[in-house]
């Protein structure tokens, strides 16, 4: 809180909020997002989710057509190439944002679904990106060590119940203790399903309204 900060540092200068400037910067970023996903969703002024699959496929087609023998060389664009292309495109988006906003930086996560991408976007803040991968092995490796608190929607109360009552701290713990999760009445059936699915890296589509993401809690 500001008043505590002032006590600790009497000479602290607190810059007032300027929401007009925030909204202007947000609009500039959204104008860029539309070039990659016209149907992107913005959860707030400083956060958005995009499905760039169609954009990547178009770029892939352009690359194939530029090859000497398009009909026989398309198999050269393997999974590794597409992963590299995804990283290049996201880096391009971030660079355009910095230029359009006169220096603002942003972080990004690249993953098969919104939940994993959101978690990954925290890995290289404030100015980097992280690619989870789209193969089963890379997703499993990514989620196993994640603390359950990292799952969007898992609040402090749920985290405490999982940790103190069921000894579940990570996504790997959640999977290993699935029999305990389903034998208890601490959570509703839908919440149990959601917790286990999230722990496996399974999430709903990108088109979900971010405002509908809710924190889950114990069964009442």
Residues with catalytic annotation? 47
* Closest to 42 (Cα-Cα) out of 86, 124, 106, 91: 106
Cα separation of 80 and 151, whole Å?
28
Cα separation of 37 and 25, whole Å?
18
Spatial contact of 116 and 139, defined as CB atoms under 8 Å apart: yes
CA dihedral 173, 176, 182, 185 (to 10 degrees): -30
Which CB contacts under 8 angstroms, 24+ apart, belong to 212-215? 213/152, 213/153, 214/153, 215/153, 215/154, 215/155, 215/158
């Amino acid at each position: 809180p500001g008043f505590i900060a002032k006590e600790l540092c009497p000479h602290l200068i607190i810059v007032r909020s300027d929401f007009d400037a925030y909204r202007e910067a947000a609009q500039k970023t959204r104008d860029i997002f539309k070039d990659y996903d016209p149907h992107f969703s913005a959860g707030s002024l400083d956060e958005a989710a995009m499905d760039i699959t169609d954009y990547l496929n178009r770029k892939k087609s352009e690359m194939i057509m530029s090859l000497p023998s398009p009909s026989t060389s398309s198999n050269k664009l393997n999974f590794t190439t597409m992963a590299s292309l995804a990283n290049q495109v996201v880096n391009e988006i971030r660079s355009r944002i910095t230029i359009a906003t006169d220096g603002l930086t942003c972080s990004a996560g690249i993953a098969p679904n919104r939940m994993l991408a959101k978690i990954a976007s925290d890995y290289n803040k404030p100015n980097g990106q992280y690619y989870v991968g789209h193969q089963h092995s890379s997703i499993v490796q990514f989620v196993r060590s994640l603390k359950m608190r990292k799952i969007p929607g898992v609040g402090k109360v749920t985290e405490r119940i999982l940790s103190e009552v069921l000894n579940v701290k990570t996504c790997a713990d959640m999977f290993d203790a699935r029999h305990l999760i389903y034998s208890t009445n601490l959570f509703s059936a839908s919440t149990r399903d959601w917790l286990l699915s999230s722990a496996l890296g399974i999430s709903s589509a990108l088109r979900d309204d971010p405002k509908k993401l809710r924190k889950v809690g114990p069964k009442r």
